[in-house]
Structure 1
Amino acid sequence: MKNLLFSLLFTAVATTSYSQNNTYQLSSHILDVSSGTAAIGVPVVLEKYDETTKIWSYVDEKITDKNGRIIDFLNYKETKKGIYKLRFLVADYFKSKKTDSFYPFIEVVFQIKDANHYHVPITLSSYGYATYRGN
């Protein structure tokens, strides 16, 4: 019985701690895989692509928190479908770590097709990165 209660409590805490914010449609996360830690204090710029004019326009800019996360891009009340780009400005992050880096910034382009939540994280090192659609 004690194990069942612990399991239920752990599940509730984990779900509450890491569930996505229902007010915002887009979140991101940076994990520095070279150190196994969150990339704290990285500016991330969000832009939207206008398919008619073929021009990117600024939407918002945030900075990763103590967990390497940004949870509040694109308020659901204002969200529109379309092609978006996150630009992760990692040069100063690596300079602060006194680490040489191949990438001054990383751009990830993706498409929002519906009203679902989108999580666009990157795993990062000074000479490589990967991205995927998270949850």
Structure 2
Amino acid sequence: MKKRIYLFAAAVLVSILTAFGQTKEYQLSSHILDINQGQPAPGVRITLSKQDKDAQWTVVDEKLTDKDGRVKDFLERDGNDHAGIYKLTYHVAPYFEAQKQSTFYPFIEVVFEIRDNNHYHVPITLSPYGYSTYRGS
């Protein structure tokens, strides 16, 4: 009986350690704050593209903002060097359409450069007729 208890406890401990050991880290995140509503913008599609040596854009990933208006998991830290010029395209027209709100911007493109292995956070504050962006933390 004691042997079964020890084996069960060991199996539980191994599964817990394995689960925590597999936490992935990401180099890039974004956030959209709808300043017209005073709240995050959930369900907005964001496309991440990278510029190649010929100045052509290649889509790297595409995600939807979560209930907090965030995408936390662009560019997994997997040992690859992610240096380069990137573009985040925020597809905001459907977001405003769902609110029965017209907008001047069908989409917003923010171009930036990753130069090192640090974390990059690119948020935007959004309204139907304006936006602002900055490098966050």
Shorter-chain TM-score range: 0.7 to 0.9
Residue 93 of structure 1 and its aligned partner are, at CA, apart by 0.1
Contact 2:24 2:76 in 1 (8 A): no
Contact 1:25 1:79 in 2 (8 A): no
The DSSP-based 3-state class of the residue aligned with 1:58 is strand
Q: Partner amino acid for 2:58?
A: S
Larger Rg, first or second structure (1 or 2)? 2
Q: Partner amino acid for 1:124?
A: L
Q: Partner amino acid for 1:102?
A: F
Contact 2:125 2:131 in 1 (8 A): yes
- 2:34 is equivalent to residue 32 of structure 1: yes
Task: Work out the CA distance in 2 between the residues paired with 1:102 and 1:63.
Answer: 21
Q: Cα deviation per residue 1:26-74 (whole Å; 9 max; x = unaligned)?
A: 0000000001010010000000001x21100010000000000000000
Backbone CA RMSD of aligned residues: 1.2
Q: Partner amino acid for 1:93?
A: Y
The DSSP-based 3-state class of the residue aligned with 1:95 is helix
Aligned residues: 114
> Percent same amino acid at aligned positions?
59
Residue 80 of structure 1 and its aligned partner are, at CA, apart by 1.6
Task: Work out the CA distance in 1 between the residues paired with 2:127 and 2:99.
Answer: 12
Counterpart in the other structure of 1:131 = 133
- 2:50 is equivalent to residue 55 of structure 1: no
Q: Which segments of structure 1 move beyond 3 Å, counting only runs of 4 or more?
A: none
Write out aligned runs for 1:1-135 (5 A): 23-50=25-52, 52-77=53-78, 78-135=80-137
Contact 1:91 1:104 in 2 (8 A): yes
Contact 1:44 1:86 in 2 (8 A): yes
TM-score, with structure 2 as normaliser: 0.81
TM-score, with structure 1 as normaliser: 0.82
Task: Work out the CA distance in 2 between the residues paired with 1:89 and 1:46.
Answer: 11
Task: Work out the CA distance in 2 between the residues paired with 1:116 and 1:54.
Answer: 24
